Every structure is written in C-alpha cells, then in structure tokens.
Amino acid sequence: MKNLIKDLKRKDHQRHLGGLDIFRYIGPGLLVTVGFIDPGNWASNFAAGSEFGYDLLWVVTLSTVMLIILQHNVAHLGIVTGLCLSEAATQYAPKWIARPILGTAVLASVSTSLAEILGGAIALQMLFDIPIIAGAVLTTAFALVMLFTNSYKKIERSIIAFVSVIGLSFIYELFLVQIDWEAAAVGWVKPSFPQGSMLIVMSVLGAVVMPHNLFLHSEVIQSHEYNKKDNASIRKVLKYELFDTLFSMIVGWAINSAMILLAAATFFRNNIQVEELQQAKSLLEPLLGNSAAIIFALALLMAGVSSTITSGMAAGSIFAGMFGESYHIKDSHSQVGILLSLGMALVLIFFIGDPFKGLLVSQMILSIQLPFTVFLQVSLTSSKRVMGTYANSRWNSFVLYTIAAVVTLLNILLLTSMF
C-alpha cells in the first residue's frame, strides 16, 4: 500500500513538472513578436484607429492567424532539420534560386533595421528632445552592445522584459479611456472596407508578416536544442513550440489591437487623424494627460530598441546561413551580418529628411522581398527530401501556398498604391 501511494505521488509530481515544463519553451516566439509590434506597425495601427475607429480590428485578427501558420511552419523546419531557413535554402535549394533570395533578404534586413532604429530615435526625441540622428546613433549603439556582450539567453530575457513593458503600457493607457467593447468585438471578427481604407488595410496586413521574422524564428528555435532524432521527441517539441507560437502571437495580437483601440477611443472620437508617431504623443497629452504621453513614448522606445536587436540577430542568421553556418555572436559571418544590417541602416538615416517617410519607404522595400522568402519557405517545408515524413501534407501545402499568394497579392497592391 505504501509503495502504491509513493508511486501515485511520483506520477503526480511528474505531471506537475510536465505542466510547468511548458514554460521552458516560451521565448523564441516572443522574440518574433517584437517584429510585428515594431514602429512600422505603430504607424499603421494608429492610422487605422484614428481614421476608421474599430472597423479595421479584423485586419489584426486575420494577419495574426496568417502569421501563426507561417511562423509555426518555419519553426517546424528548424525543429525537424536542425537548420535555419537560410541554411536550409543554401543546402537544399539550387544556388541560382537560393543566392538571389538570401542576398535580397540581407538587403531587406537593412530596411527592417532602418525602421526599427528610426522608431527608437523618434521615441528619444519625444522623451528627451534628442535630434533624430543622435537618437539613431544611441539606439544602434545600445543594440550592438546587447548583441555583442550578452548571451542568447540574456537577450531573450531582455526582449521578454521589453515586450512586457510595451504590453503593460498599453494596458495602463486603455484604463484611461472609454472603450466601446461591443463595437470592438464586432470589429475583431467582421471584415469591412470603409471608403478609403484599402491602403491602411494592406499596410497593417503587409507589415505583420515580415521576411526577417521567418529567418529569425527558424534560427532561435535552435537555441533550445529542439532538434531531436527520434519521432517521439520531435512530436513533443512540436507541441510545445506550437504553444509558444500561439501564446506569443496572441500577445502580439493583443498589443496591436490595443493600439487601434486607444486610437479609436481618443483620436477617432475627437475627429483627429494621426499621420505620424510624434503627433500621436503630442495629441495624447491634452486628451489623457502628460503621464499617458510619456508612457506612450517609453513603450515606443522599448519597441524600437528590442526590434533593432532582433533585426540584427535575423541579419546575422541570414548572412551566416549563406555560408552554411548557424547564428552565433562569436562567428565572424554572424558578426558581419549584424554590422552590415545595423551599420548600413544607420548610414542611410543620415540622408533621410523625413523620418515618417523613411518608415514608409522601408515597408515598401520589405513588400518587394517578402513573397520570395515565403514561397522559398513553403517549398522547403513541403519537400520530403528536406523534411522527410514531416513534410507538409497536401492540405497544409495548399493552405500555406494560399497564404503565400495572398501575402504576395497584398504586398503588390501596397507597392503599386505607393506610386
């Protein structure tokens, strides 16, 4: 009888540990989440909420669903093969396909870094009246220090802290305004296209799925030593990874939604259209008080700094992968990738007269490269030569290629609308 009781206690203890064990797998998804709560998304979300109220909340829902599917798929690649997207392309795709796509992905990472650094610089200008150029230098320097002096785990914890600050900031600000939750609930699930909204709809959708995030997720998944050789271990890790992706993307959905809710409850209600981030902060002061405006700027600073760090990591992963290597801060190719992305972005900022237009141009460049990365990813994860028995099923391939086609169409429409 005593042995039976001990056995039951041991099994209960194991179940308890299994439940807690899931938190060990949370982290990679949150690094990716930073990419779609970056300054470019802030601009799109505040434009959506200030001009159309709650009507475009469904765009955040749809884009998050698409993002969950694509990010889980690319993490699937990393878990099963032990390779990041860049390494897998170098190893399995023909050179005439892999080299141009990876080369343009490096250039796209420069564009991504430009937007992230600008976001941090704009926030420093809001908080301390620091000129944009000086703020860009400070943001870049801080990101480089974080990347070159901290281990991956420390960076992961820092990013989680940054995301927490951003989330708590918007929760605080939502308590200061009166939200029409009934209208918000309808807006989240009912698609609508108010007159003149197509450009913003495409901007929000196009800014969520970003090429550097696909490379980054397939890379950082390796830091947890997810690659397993036996089927039981792979299936277990895939389950935990899916939880991490779902949890992290829902956090991103909530933060992006909060931006639209805040803009709808303040600017839309007062018939004020927001066209740049500095304007949003200055307009919040008379509506919500000085503390809300400061918290808004602080959250933007956290978003700019954290997304600059993850952008640098993604660039290092892409560049190292072109040489068949995984990302590691001590690896020379990873270092070159980081310095190329952040360094070139900083130099370009010196020649940008209008920071807000700089954000728009950076998103336009990303829209050109994104379809190539998505189709490359889906072709690799659908290949039995690459994935073995874990290759996408016909149904999964159909869904993924459909999403890739939709993303491509949206980005083409966004691109053409800018001319």
Give the model confidence (pLDDT) of 324-370 as tens digits.
888 888 888 999 999 999 999 999 888 876 666 666 566 667 767 87
Q: CA–CA separation, 46 vs 197, rounded Å?
A: 13
What's the CA gap between 246 and 8, in Å, rounded?
32
What is the pLDDT, as a whole number, of residue 7? 43
Query: Is residue 15 over pLDDT 50?
Result: no
pLDDT at 259 over 50: yes
pLDDT at position 6, please? 43
Query: Closest Cα partner for 49 from 172, 165, 211, 170?
Result: 170
Contact 78, 217 (CB under 8 A): yes
Q: What confidence category does residue 303 fall into, taking pLDDT thresholds of 50, 70 and 90?
A: confident
pLDDT at residue 21, rounded to an integer: 54
Q: Which residue would you say has higher pLDDT here, 417 or 141?
A: 141
Is pLDDT larger for residue 167 or for residue 126? 126
| Nearest alpha carbon to residue 202 among 351, 347, 366, 77 | 366
Q: Tell me the three state secondary structure of residue 29.
A: helix
Token pair 């397939």: residue? 218
Backbone angles phi, psi at 54, to 5 degrees: -90, 0
- Mean pLDDT, residues 164-168: 79
Q: Which amino acid is at 140?
A: T
Across the chain, what does the average pLDDT equal? 79
pLDDT tens string 55-107: 999 988 988 888 888 888 998 898 888 888 999 999 999 989 999 999 989 88
Give the residue among 349, 398, 417, 406 at the shortest CA–CA distance from 116. Answer: 349
Least confident span in 95-99, 189-193, 230-234, 396-400: 230-234
Which value, to the nearest 10 degrees, does the dihedral of the CA atoms of residues 85, 90, 95, 100 take? 40
Are residues 277 and 259 in contact, defined by beta-carbon separation less than 8 angstroms?
Answer: no
Distance of CA 92 to the CA centre of its chain: 26
The larger pLDDT score, comparing residue 10 to residue 343, is at 343
Task: Please name the residues in contact with 64: beta carbons below 8 A apart, sequence gap of 6 or more.
Answer: 208, 249, 250, 252, 253, 256
Nearest to 214, CA basis, from 409, 414, 410, 404? 404
Mapped onto helix, strand or coil, the DSSP state of residue 368 is helix
60-70: b or e for each residue (b if 16 or more CB lie within 10 Å)?
bbbbbebbbbb
Which amino acid is residue 49, in one-letter code?
A: G
371 touches 67 (CB < 8 A) = no
Element (H, E) at 102: helix 95-128
Residue 82 main-chain phi, psi, to 5 deg: 75, 15
Q: What Rg value do the Cα atoms of the chain yield, rounded? A: 21
- Global pTM reads 0.81
pLDDT at residue 42 in the model: 79
Helix residue ranges, H only, 129-197 = 132-149, 152-174, 181-189
List Cα–Cα distances, 375 to 4, 34, 69, 70, 323, in angstroms.
Answer: 55, 23, 14, 11, 21
Most confident segment among 29-43, 87-101, 207-221:
87-101
Helix (H, G, I), strand (E, B) or coil at 171: helix
pLDDT at 378: 92
- Please state the φ and ψ torsions of residue 293, each to the nearest 5 degrees: -65, -40
